[in-house]
Every structure is written in structure tokens, then in C-alpha cells.
A = this chain, B = another copy of it.
Amino acid sequence: MPSKVSTPTSTEPDDQRARILASALDVLRTQGASALTVRAVAKGAGCSTTGVYTWFGGKQGLVEAIFVDGFHGFDAALVAGFASGDDLVAASSYRDWALANPTQYLVMFGGAVPGFEPSDEAKAVADVAFGHLVEWVAERRGLAGAEARHEAMRVWATVHGYVMLELAQMAEPLEGIDPEAQFVYGVAGLWPDPSPMAAR
């Protein structure tokens, strides 16, 4: 009904789907999870609510797309951080991504959308990111097998814990100590050795 009456012929078949997803991410970023309504997303994408059902099957499917999209970007940020060869830079890449996409991070990890449960397919995307972390920890510390996974889980849980507390605004009781300093302290404790690069 608006101006876009022209070119219903889609030279780009994913045009509408991509617009809806972009609109959803925009709503999430600018107005928070509570404003993520099908109507608001559709309005931002220039279509009616039906479009969300055509391309995503409903709000659940839309949230799942947000989840998957988030893990792709998140994983890319992690891999880029790993490439730096510096433990603190890698951990900070994690934190920086989460702080730059806080609501999306909460959708991915915190259950910010009450009814949402990721499908096995979506969880597989998340596992890719964790797999990269395991690989990195294994190479970095010369570990393998169960020990590498244990250690990767420890790194993940610690970094995730700091980030979640910061996003929940629970990192503030420590007056005078900003969250970044807290984070750096905690990450440093993950690798007690001053220079843990002897591996490999």
C-alpha cells in the first residue's frame, strides 16, 4: 500500500526476507526485546504482518533467524579475535561483540524472548562457535580431548559470566572499578602463567 507498489517482480528473491530480518534487528537494537512485535517489525520492513509468516512462519521463526544471524556474526568476531594471537584481545572480541549487540546477545543466551527455544538446527550453529573456541584453546594450551573441552568450557563460562552480569547491570556494585577492569582481571586469571604461549 505505501509507495513501493512498483517492482513486485523480485529480481532479488530474498529482498523481503532480508528487509524483515534487518527490521527485526533494528527494532531489537533500538527499542529492546519488549518492542519486538510482529507489527513493529513488519512496519519497519514496509510490509504487513503476513510477510513475517510467509518468510519465517511466525514470531518464533523470526527469533530463530535472529538467533542464527547472531551466532554467525558472533562467531566471526571470535575467529577474528583468535587470529590476533593474544588472549586478552580474543576475550575482548567476545565482550565487545556482546556489548555492541546486547539485546541480540540476550536473545541468544538469556532467553529474552520468553517462549523461544532454539531448534536443533539453530543449536548446531551455536556449536560451531563453541567448536572454534575448543580448537583455539586446544592449540593455544596444547590440550586435547576432554581436557580441551573442559578448559574451553571454563573460558567460555567465565567470559560469558562477566558479560551477562555486565549486561544485567549487576557489575556496578564495585564502585570505582569499571566493568572492563573487572573483566580484564578475570580473564587474566584464566591463564595463570604470565606468558602462556609455550604450547605447540
Contacts and interface: CB of A to CB of B under 8 A. Distances in A.
Interface of A: 32-34, 36, 106, 109-115, 123, 126-127, 130-131, 146, 149-150, 153-154, 156-162, 164-165, 168-171, 173-174, 176-177, 181-182, 185-186, 189, 192
A74 B168 CA distance: 17
A113 B110 contact: no
A126 B146 CA distance: 36
A99 B33 CA distance: 25
B182 A153 contact: yes
Contacts of A146: 174, 176-177
Contact of A114 (B112, B153, B154, B156): B112
A186 B111 contact: no
Contacts of A158: 154, 157-158, 161, 186
B174 A149 contact: yes
Contact of A168 (B110, B114, B161, B181): B110
A174 B171 CA distance: 29
Nearest to A113: B114
Nearest to A175: B149
Given A161-B158, A177-B149, A111 B115 contact: no
B177 A114 contact: no
A130 B173 contact: yes
